[in-house]
Amino acid sequence: MKKYGFTGVLYLPYNYIGQPGYLSVEEIKEMVNAGWEVGSHSISHPDLRELDETRLRAEIVDSRRKLEELLGVPVLTFAYPFGYVSDSARRYAREAGYIAAMGASGYTANQWRSSLYYLQRISIHGDEHVNTFIRFLPWQGPPESSPQTSNDTP
């Protein structure tokens, strides 16, 4: 994404930071310094629908505090693991002070203030080629008019 001048949001499960195959604190801070936002993705990435109230609250509310303390940046949004949500999960997202929370149910333009705690989104995976990624971008015209070259590799 850096190659094309994009930034994004890192939705981080707190317990995964620094684990093999996941970002380190230093890598996250480098991305933040390059303009990326950090959002919470819980503490341990569970199915939130299966948790009791105490654990559910910890996964949503405490994950924000822990990320902010670890990284020294504001954490304003939450992404529900697997996109799974419940009324209690939405309530804790509001209680934690997040300004919005993300689901994973696809995307339509019909998103309103009333859906701030379950905004729709489409996941973009690291192995996607720019030619598949382009379908989400707002410019008009054929793919060859986009900011890419024909020699790009995923």
Q: What was the pLDDT predicted at 153? A: 44
Per-residue model confidence (pLDDT) at position 3: 82
Highest mean pLDDT among 26-40, 91-105, 123-137: 26-40
The model's pLDDT over 109-132, given as tens digits with 9 standing for 90+, comes to 666 666 788 777 666 677 877 777
- What number is the average pLDDT over the span 15-23? 97
Find where tokens 């230093």 sit.
26
**Contact between 37 and 10 (Cβ < 8 Å):** yes
Mean pLDDT of 39-68: 97
pLDDT-derived band at 66 (thresholds 50, 70, 90) equals very high
What strands, in cross-sheet order, belong to the sheet with 77-79? 9-12, 37-40, 77-79, 100-102
Helix (H, G, I), strand (E, B) or coil at 64: helix
Is the model's pLDDT at 87 over the cut of 80?
yes
What single letter denotes the amino acid at residue 74?
Answer: P
pLDDT at 29 over 50: yes
pLDDT at 140: 53
The total number of residues shown for the chain amounts to: 154
Hey, where are the domains in the chain? 2-123
CA atoms of 7 and 36, how far apart (whole Å): 5
Architecture of 2-123 per CATH?
Alpha-Beta Barrel (3.20)
Contacts made by residues 123-129, CB under 8 angstroms, sequence distance 24+: 124/8, 127/154, 128/154, 129/153, 129/154
Residue 33: per-residue pLDDT: 95
pLDDT of 85 strictly over 60: yes
Better-predicted residue by pLDDT, 135 or 48? 48
Q: Taking the model in full, what pTM does it have?
A: 0.78
